[in-house]
Structure 1
Amino acid sequence: MSKENEKLKVTDLRSAIELLKSVPGQFIETDEPVEPLAELSGVYRHIGAGGTVMRPTRKGPAMIFNSVKGHEDARVLIGLLASRERVGLLLNEKPECLGFLLNEAVKNPIDPVTVSKDYALCQEVVHYADEPDFDIRKLLPAPTNTEDDAGPYITMGMCYASDIETGESDITIHRLCLQSKDEISMFFTPGARHLGVFREKAEKLGKPLPISISIGVDPAIEIASCFEPPTTPLGFNELSIAGAIRNQPVELTQCLTINEKAIANAEYVIEGELLPGVYVREDQNTNTGKAMPEFPGYTGTAVEEVPVIKVKAVTHRRNPIMQTVIGPSEEHVSMAGIPTEASIIQMVEKAMPGRLLNVYAHSSGGGKYMAVLQFKKSQPSDEGRQRQAAILAFAAFPELKHVILVDEDVDIFDSNDVLWALNTRYQGDTDTIFIPGVRCHPLDPSQSPDYSSSIRDKGISCKTIFDCTVPYHLKNKFQRSKFMDVNPSRFAPELFNNK
């Protein structure tokens, strides 16, 4: 990072945007009027979505739309985290070292603090739900990704709630659909989020669960919120990871209408309650049978019964910026994948220190389904440990489906290099390890009894290890061609002097 960029400290969404503006190729904006219903996402698909989005797409700059139809005073930002390089820039770390950065942050958490309302930028403007003209659909320029979506979705909402018995708090990202002027449906992946435990406990007691939804925050919070068990067990507040990344606590403020806190410098905050025993059909307003595009690249099925948040108020900064994401984009890969890498690094390093060199949660798996592990065998007894590392990776991140193992001379972030290892250091009959009948993730359409009679229930998968490492006793026969080590900037300064 240049000396100029080091002076641009990221503390919220707006300072993150200012940093990106200072780096060529990382940010663009448009004043062209855009329709939030499908058109906005349709545009960004071509600009910089990447990930598992249907081709043509590509990695590109973050983009802000300054003129959103139906929302005169709001702007919409998309693609903030839609490249690993940009995440590295925003977190002040080399892209290939982000998993290690987050691993250290998990081990050295800094708890959030509460600031007074005088410092709560998120409450500069307040709209109460009991006002006659209150309508969350008019207040928030929440887009739809496609014309088939169940409705406008909040895709980058930091949902914050607390256990009503213990007081322990947590933050996660959920699928939130605007259902009416003061109701939002909230989708929970079964057994995968701490807030689901909080909600179920409150519902059994017949009590509403206060919840705040902060939109448009420091990207460190967005990345940290995507950790999952066992790395962050129940009771672990992921905001403390964001605090460790920034080396200063995340600032919260007390909500105005509920007994809960929200991120003090967020662009928008929704205050509400998850109602006990109240459910709606997710696509009740469209009847499409579909929800929204999800990380595997397919549109999720609308759920018949999803819990409901009753909105009490919406607060926001002046001239607020709505942040959104395309479900299957590279942005999801960054948010889900980098915490996945950190979780795998943590578990494998505990078991066999120094052998796992790096991990990449690959884009083709949406940051969840596939991991490439770079493993170094230094002595004969290391043979076989690479497969132990793969098994540990499945334990570290239960939603992982495939692990590819490669040697230290393979660039895990270069898919061509990984496929080279697959083609020259792998034999299918001896280097493939199947682990059938294991719970994975229900959004993979192939994990269904309809796909294979061997699958007992939706969400169960055959996890697979592809061992593309050279057997230790043959390492000297698999040496890559060695080229002269030179400084190319002397010959092509325009390509190398700025790196």
Structure 2
Amino acid sequence: MSRLNDQNASAATDMVAALETLKGCPADAGHFLIKSGFSPDQAAADFVESYAGVPATPRGGTEPAVLYQQRNQPDLLFGLYGCERRIRGWLPALAGCRMTKTAPSLAPVSPIHVKSDHQRWDQIDLGGLPFPQITTRDAGPYITMGFVMAGEAGQNLALSAHRMLVLGPDLLGISMLTSRHLRHMAQRAGEQGESLPISINIGVPPAVAIASATGTAHLPSRLDKLSLAGALAKAPIAISQGPDDGAFYLSRSAIVLHGELLADTTTEAIAPAPPGVTMPEFLGYDGHAGAPLQLIKLNSISQRPNAMMQAVVGPGREQSAILGLGGALSLALGLDEGLLAENAFDLRFSYAGGGMLLLFVALKDGHTTPLEPLARQMIDICPFVKTVVFVDQDVDLSSEEDMLWAMTTRANLAQDCHPVQGFAPMRMDPSQGDAWAKQKGYTPTRCYVDATVPPSCRSAASRSFV
């Protein structure tokens, strides 16, 4: 076992190293601010009011990384991932590369076991950490950038981000979708009458944040999420054994909560919060308190020296960038390699859809696959996708204006917007709800937009300056 060496840390494998790259960085690539005099709740409110972008607010542009200094607690960091270009620049495998070209060639880089520099707290008290309550409607303070890890490798590894409600000094409630691998592992443990040992990692390496946003079910057999993170970083991710032979954790996480995922549950709608409401979701609307939260019991807390607490406000450019890069990576890894190579020039999820609902696809010149089955396969892999917009490869997917230009001048939406039937509506999107359908008089469905130039019209529709 090697010893953790900060001199070998890169922006891809260490959040602190990534933050250092923003100091003195040009404003158009994102920047770094330090503010003081804000409580955790006030810091969240200030970030929303001053910096958060679409879909949290109508504000365009990148989000800066803002460090809110705290008294007697770790400082609170918002906005680190508020720029897709910034994140790509930290990840050697993605910097300056098209996702469709990079993903199929990613080779796994296994994690390394190291002796961590984490310091164990004398007492277990979540009150010692600056968890913000994002809105007054929330049930309480939430962990919003907690990456839960169970197992170590392969099918025995779960690594995913979840929102977790702070219920007491050593107790959390976690929200998990039914499709999550972590939930399946917890169910198997519960069936054997056992709890599931886990670590909750806060302030993780950027490569881990993106890899964790991919879908486990569609990863090729050569990759799990830790070896995928290593592939993105082109360097191994450091992991360590938890205290008292507990669950493994990410050695370069700023703060780690060590504990067990129990079979017991609790409600998320806790008075005086409005019934049925949780903290804002990734699309910019309040969440729904539906399924019970599963309980997590902590047995220790550890942190690196001078640790920072990372958080997000729920929706916004930061959350959208993480989800969008993870989703595009999932598609590029999950689609049939021949289908991908023959048809897709590049893939990108728009901030406007929270990084999940609105997918841009640039098609290769001379592609032959019909668009409806291609869109359907993409929705099968990324089931939150609502709209797929197909364009030609001369359109810049990273420019929302260029996408609108293509949709305006290379499509007649009344004819070129086509339904993709057979997918269940998503309740997080208001326009897919029952009340919306009743008022509008139609059944919500997914769709794709053909904003490509017909082959016979290409000479008349070529760009003047490209």
For normalisation by structure 2, the TM-score amounts to: 0.89
CA distance in structure 2 between the aligned counterparts of 1:305 and 1:391, rounded to whole angstroms? 32
CA distance in structure 1 between the aligned counterparts of 2:439 and 2:37, rounded to whole angstroms? 51
- SS in structure 1 opposite 2:21? helix
CA distance in structure 1 between the aligned counterparts of 2:438 and 2:111, rounded to whole angstroms? 48
The one-letter amino acid of 1:270's match is L
- 1:328 pairs, out of 309, 315, 334, with 315
Counterpart mapping for 1:426-441 below 5 A: 426-439=411-424, 441=426
CA distance in structure 2 between the aligned counterparts of 1:268 and 1:422, rounded to whole angstroms? 45
CA contact (8 A) 1:63 1:79 kept: yes
CA distance in structure 2 between the aligned counterparts of 1:143 and 1:198, rounded to whole angstroms? 29
Q: Which residue of 2 aligns with 1:318?
A: 305
- SS in structure 2 opposite 1:465? strand
Q: Which residue of 1 aligns with 2:167?
A: 179
After superposition, the Cα gap between the structure-2 partners of 1:55 and 1:431, relative to the gap in structure 1 and judged at 3 Å, is closer
CA distance in structure 2 between the aligned counterparts of 1:100 and 1:208, rounded to whole angstroms? 40
CA distance in structure 1 between the aligned counterparts of 2:424 and 2:223, rounded to whole angstroms? 23
Q: Which residue of 1 aligns with 2:3?
A: none
CA distance in structure 1 between the aligned counterparts of 2:34 and 2:380, rounded to whole angstroms? 44
CA contact (8 A) 1:344 1:397 kept: yes
CA contact (8 A) 1:47 1:58 kept: no
Q: Which residue of 2 aligns with 1:44?
A: 47
In the TM superposition, residue 262 of structure 1 has moved relative to its aligned partner by: 0.6
CA distance in structure 1 between the aligned counterparts of 2:94 and 2:329, rounded to whole angstroms? 14
CA-to-aligned-CA distance 1:183-242 (integer Å, 9 cap, x gap): 100001222x11011111122222111110011121111111100144227996311111
CA-to-aligned-CA distance 1:10-63 (integer Å, 9 cap, x gap): 2312111112214233333334210212x2122222443223012346423211
The one-letter amino acid of 1:64's match is L
CA distance in structure 2 between the aligned counterparts of 1:60 and 1:303, rounded to whole angstroms? 31
Corresponding position: 1:413 with 2:398:
yes
Q: Which residue of 1 aligns with 2:116?
A: 120
* Percent of aligned pairs sharing the same letter: 27
- 1:188 pairs, out of 139, 162, 176, with 176
- SS in structure 2 opposite 1:265? coil
Corresponding position: 1:33 with 2:37:
yes
- 1:53 pairs, out of 30, 53, 56, with 56
Counterpart mapping for 1:76-475 below 5 A: 76-92=76-92, 97=97, 99-100=99-100, 103-104=103-104, 107-115=106-114, 119-121=115-117, 123-129=118-124, 135-136=125-126, 138-162=127-151, 168-191=156-179, 193-232=180-219, 237-257=224-244, 259-276=246-263, 278-284=264-270, 286-289=272-275, 290-303=277-290, 305-346=292-333, 347=335, 349-378=337-366, 382=367, 385-439=370-424, 441-452=426-437, 462-475=445-458
The one-letter amino acid of 2:78's match is I
The one-letter amino acid of 1:470's match is V
* Of 297-306 and 446-455, the range deviating more from structure 2: 446-455
CA contact (8 A) 1:404 1:466 kept: yes
In the TM superposition, residue 331 of structure 1 has moved relative to its aligned partner by: 1.1
CA contact (8 A) 2:121 2:300 kept: yes
CA distance in structure 1 between the aligned counterparts of 2:221 and 2:282, rounded to whole angstroms? 24
Give the superposed CA RMSD: 2.8
CA distance in structure 2 between the aligned counterparts of 1:101 and 1:60, rounded to whole angstroms? 28
The one-letter amino acid of 1:154's match is I
The one-letter amino acid of 2:121's match is V
Query: Is the radius of gyration larger for structure 1 or structure 2?
Result: 1
- SS in structure 2 opposite 1:43? helix
* Of 45-54 and 234-243, the range deviating more from structure 2: 234-243
- SS in structure 2 opposite 1:260? strand
CA-to-aligned-CA distance 1:403-453 (integer Å, 9 cap, x gap): 001112222222222112212221234322212330364422333333326
- SS in structure 2 opposite 1:156? strand
In the TM superposition, residue 91 of structure 1 has moved relative to its aligned partner by: 1.7
**Can you give the 5+ residue segments of structure 2 that lack an aligned partner in the other structure?**
1-7
Alignment length (residue pairs): 452
CA distance in structure 2 between the aligned counterparts of 1:268 and 1:60, rounded to whole angstroms? 23
CA distance in structure 2 between the aligned counterparts of 1:395 and 1:359, rounded to whole angstroms? 15
CA contact (8 A) 1:114 1:251 kept: yes
CA contact (8 A) 2:66 2:78 kept: yes
CA distance in structure 2 between the aligned counterparts of 1:250 and 1:100, rounded to whole angstroms? 24
CA contact (8 A) 2:137 2:273 kept: no
The one-letter amino acid of 2:267's match is R
CA-to-aligned-CA distance 1:72-92 (integer Å, 9 cap, x gap): 241011111110121122224
- SS in structure 2 opposite 1:261? strand
CA contact (8 A) 1:102 1:241 kept: no
- SS in structure 1 opposite 2:20? helix
CA distance in structure 2 between the aligned counterparts of 1:325 and 1:373, rounded to whole angstroms? 28
- SS in structure 2 opposite 1:434? strand
- SS in structure 2 opposite 1:30? strand
CA contact (8 A) 1:163 1:198 kept: no
CA distance in structure 1 between the aligned counterparts of 2:328 and 2:388, rounded to whole angstroms? 12
Counterpart mapping for 1:63-82 below 5 A: 63-66=66-69, 68=70, 71-82=71-82
